[in-house]
Amino acid sequence: MDYKILCSEVIEICHEVGEFILEQKNKISYKNIEKKGKNDFVTFVDKTSEQKLVLKLSELLPESGFIAEENTSQKRGELYNWVIDPLDGTTNFIHGLAPFAISIALVKGSEIVMGVVHELNLGETFYAWQGSAAYLNGRQISVSQTETVANSLIATGFPYYDYKRLDAFMESMKYFMNNSQGLRRLGSAATDLAYVACGRFDAFYEYSLKVWDVAAGAFIVQQAGGKISDFDKGENWLYGQEIIACNSNAFSELQNIIFKIMN
């Protein structure tokens, strides 16, 4: 399979569905916002976008299945599965706040072989496929070369329903506030990871994440020269609901700090 060609087709699909999302931005009201859980919202835009993505990706790869946030398809592929977040940053979207993004990864067996993150507000598409470099709108990108946590700008995400680890998380934020160039919270994990891949952030960490939040962005970080782990310095970041992403230079230092505080 030619993943490069397939990736370009996925990008076209993201742009098309992205236009639909942006057209709906001013049509959202609290009458058409559903609540899946505490501070966990979904709109008709999320659901319709996912339906559009599932339909078009099924046409690209008929044998593929889906792992999708809004669960609009129950199909599982024997070999290939698309991991989809049709609108990462729904709360931002509801409030008319950037960023929000479409995130799509292709998994072959247990291995990610493609990732696309399309951030709609700036019209930026980050992508990579197996064996490729990482790209932003056709330009090759790479993670930053920052060597220490002290010189790093670090992104994170606030827990919005799972507060069991909140005390440790607050301690980690306190540490980085005192020992880095700053913390940022954008509200879209897929975008945070894409920004690590292109060097805008030096690192990102968060817990209570789902596979569709991280699959595409983390793969792009790796293809851009970065490193990924869970909080235990292990490899259970895809389904383990926690992730550290960083450039290669500062990764071990950051990983050790988070391991010490969060465990």
Burial 207-217 (b: 16+ CB within 10 A, else e): bbbbbbbbbbb
Largest CA distance in the chain: 51
Query: What pLDDT shows up at residue 26?
Result: 82
Is residue 30's pLDDT more than 70? no
Encoded amino acid at 132, one letter: S
Banded pLDDT at 42 (limits 50, 70, 90):
confident
Q: Whole-angstrom Cα distance, residue 228 to residue 170? A: 22
Q: Which residues contact 103 (CB under 8 A, 6 or more apart)?
A: 83, 84, 85, 88, 115, 116, 117, 118, 190, 212, 213, 215, 216, 217
150, two tokens: 């002290």
What are the pLDDT digits (tens) for 73-123? 989 999 999 999 999 999 999 999 999 999 999 999 999 999 999 999 999
Give 142-189 pLDDT, tens digit per residue. Answer: 999 999 999 999 999 998 888 999 999 999 999 999 999 999 999 999
Sequence-distant (≥ 6) Cβ neighbours of residue 259 within 8 angstroms = 231, 232, 233
Residue by residue, DSSP assigns 174-226 as: HHHHHHSSEEE--S-HHHHHHHHHTTSSSEEEEES--HHHHHHHHHHHHHTT-
CATH topology of domain 3-141: Fructose-1,6-Bisphosphatase; Chain A, domain 1 (3.30.540)
Spatial contact of 91 and 187, defined as CB atoms under 8 Å apart: yes
- Tell me the fold of 149-262: D-Maltodextrin-Binding Protein; domain 2 (3.40.190)
Is residue 172 within 8 Å of residue 164, measured between CB atoms? Answer: no
- Across residues 122-129, what is the average pLDDT? 99
Domain ranges of the chain: 3-141, 149-262
